[in-house]
């Protein structure tokens, strides 16, 4: 059986994802203030806050805006408007509407 070019395919996929993220992302998410705040938030709350409420321990991978940015832009850099979430909780909150939105 011939070896499948698995690594190449993965690399191409990764490159496409990066390009997608760069061309479609809101510049806010690559801004230094957000990157810095996001890092601090994940350091303070390294576990998913919603899972914790149910005594589950999931590493947080998303920093979610409790009040969405399109509702109140002035809260976008407020620590108390942020929530650390795992991927499944974050997807559940956003539903299918905005699957690629990072926060």
Give the per-residue contact string, 63-82, with Zn ion (x = CB under 5 A; - = no): -x------------------
Instruction: Give the nearer residue to Zn ion in terms of CB position, either 48 or 76.
Output: 48
Least separation in angstroms between CB 8 and Zn ion: 33
Tell me the DSSP string of 11-61.
HHHHHHHHHHHHHHS-GGGGSHHHHHHHHHHHHH--B-HHHHHTT---B--
**Region 24-53 residues binding Zn ion, contact defined as CB under 5 A:** 48, 50-51
User: Is the Cβ of residue 16 or residue 93 nearer to Zn ion in the bound state?
Assistant: 93
User: With contact defined as beta carbons under 8 Å apart, do 80 and 64 qualify?
Assistant: no
How far apart CA 38 and CA 82 sit, in angstroms, is 9
Positions that interact with Zn ion (CB under 5 A): 48, 50-51, 58, 64, 86, 89, 103
């Amino acid at each position: 059986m011939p070896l499948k070019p698995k690594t190449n395919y993965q690399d191409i996929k990764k490159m496409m994802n990066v390009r997608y993220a760069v061309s479609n992302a809101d510049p806010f998410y690559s801004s230094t203030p957000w990157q810095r705040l996001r890092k601090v938030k994940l350091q303070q709350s390294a576990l998913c806050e919603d899972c914790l409420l149910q005594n589950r321990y999931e590493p947080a991978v998303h920093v979610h805006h409790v009040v969405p940015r399109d509702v109140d832009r002035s809260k976008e850099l407020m620590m108390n408007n942020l929530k650390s979430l795992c991927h499944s909780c974050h997807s559940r909150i956003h539903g299918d509407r905005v699957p690629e939105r990072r926060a």
